[in-house]
Chain A
């Protein structure tokens, strides 16, 4: 294995910095990558600097600073992630849609002692709506993806719902 010296490391770090790699972590990642390549491909006595100059252009298309620019771009244009699993999303959907009816029934029960049949029927009828959504999502899983934007999810949920009706 080719021995990498501190001088080699200092040279690479300085060169990366001079060529636009300003993020310290990114510089360290590239340094380690270059060192591994040198350790694997060079023999004792080979010229590290010449190898470095030949290998570094394979990292980019036009200039090294592209890597820095890409890193900055990706860090500033991160896609908001919906980290709810499918199960949690459905639980949330049920609570959101059925919750108000159950809450209304409970309040009615607390105030009047018993639920009239109209309220029971109303709750049962409105419970069908989230159940229908659940059935649509379960029966057509390819139309549902929790990572899709919120608007698309609503659209994807409604289309099969309407076609079933």
Chain B
């Protein structure tokens, strides 16, 4: 089952930040492939969603970029900035708390109390 883009949209930046935290530096194609691999093809990030998010993260100062030229074309590697590392921790924590709340709200797991 492939998750809908609506579900992925709100978590895309967190996914990208966490991947960069775990992999030091990555380029766009690599990110899409890694997400597919880790999620067992259930999360498929489209190019149309990934690159705008990467640009926004760069503008926010959460990622830094490094350019490598392959002949005439340019490959942009993304890595976390110090602010990005702090933001990753906060976002992962926030998403984790959100998932627990959703589980309670949708009665996915038995309530403890």
> Which A residues lie at the B interface, using CB under 8 A?
4, 6, 9, 23, 25-26, 28-33, 35-37, 58-61, 66-67, 70-71, 73-75, 78, 81, 83, 85, 142, 145-147
Subset of 30 A-B contacts with CB under 8 Å? A6-B71, A6-B72, A9-B72, A9-B73, A25-B55, A25-B76, A26-B52, A28-B73, A28-B74, A31-B74, A32-B27, A32-B73, A33-B28, A33-B29, A35-B70, A60-B48, A61-B48, A67-B48, A70-B49, A71-B51, A71-B55, A73-B52, A74-B55, A78-B59, A78-B60, A81-B62, A83-B86, A85-B86, A142-B97, A147-B90
How far apart are the CA atoms of A70 and B17 in the complex, in Å?
19
Verify B90–A67 contact, CB threshold 8 A.
no
Interface Cβ pair total, 8 Å cutoff: 89
On chain B, the number of residues with a Cβ less than 8 Å from chain A's Cβ atoms is 32
CA distance A28 to B55 in the complex (A): 12
Q: B28 contacts which chain A residues (CB < 8 A)?
A: 29, 32-33
With A29-B54, A81-B60 as given contacts, are A59 and B72 in contact (CB-CB < 8 Å)?
no
A71 with B52: in contact, given A32-B75, A81-B87 (CB under 8 Å)? Answer: yes
Chain B, Cβ-Cβ closest to A68: B52
Of all chain A residues, the one with the shortest Cβ separation from B46 is A59
